[in-house]
């Protein structure tokens, strides 16, 4: 029975990494990755290195979503047509693109680092 739980936790983590990769395209799959990894992170029967990966995925998804929301705030002035010709709106848009790129690269780096440690069966922290 214990071996089945270990395999189930490994499947949850690998599915969480797949959804973590898909979260680079949409935030909905980031929530799915968060929920799958939370099952493993809060389990008392999981191995420590698997729990570390669960916490890593949860932490990475939360930080990515916060950074993506911050980047999205910079695009709000684009919604007002009367402001569209102003130079500061262009500046806000450029800042939003830069922050979105930073968030995307951070999350991609977390994905690669976590997946490489997972295949080595080591804790990611």
pTM comes to: 0.89
What gap in Å lies between CA 101 and CA 64, rounded to an integer?
A: 11
Q: Does residue 121 come out as left (phi exceeding 0), alpha (psi in the -120 to 50 range) or beta?
A: left
Please report which residue ranges of 23-86 form alpha helices under DSSP H.
27-41, 48-73
Q: What is the pLDDT along the chain (125 residues), one digit of tens a residue?
A: 467 888 999 999 999 999 999 999 988 999 999 999 999 999 988 899 999 999 999 999 999 999 999 999 999 988 887 877 788 888 999 999 999 999 999 999 999 999 999 999 999 88
Give 101: exposed, middle or buried? Use CB within 10 Å, 0-12, 13-18, 19+. Answer: exposed
For residue 56, give the nearest of 38, 81, 74 by alpha carbon. Answer: 38
**DSSP state at residue 26:** -
């Amino acid at each position: 029975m214990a071996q089945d739980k270990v395999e189930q936790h490994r499947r949850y983590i690998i599915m969480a990494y797949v959804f973590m990769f898909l979260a680079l395209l949409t935030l909905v799959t980031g929530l799915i990755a968060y929920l799958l990894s939370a099952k493993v992170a809060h389990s008392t029967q999981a191995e420590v290195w698997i729990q570390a990966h669960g916490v890593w995925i949860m932490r990475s998804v939360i930080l990515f979503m916060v950074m993506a929301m911050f980047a999205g705030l910079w695009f709000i002035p684009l919604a007002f047509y009367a402001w569209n010709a102003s130079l500061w709106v262009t500046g806000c848009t450029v800042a939003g693109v830069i922050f979105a790129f930073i968030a995307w690269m951070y999350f991609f780096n977390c994905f690669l680092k976590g997946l490489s440690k997972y295949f080595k069966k080591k804790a990611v922290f």
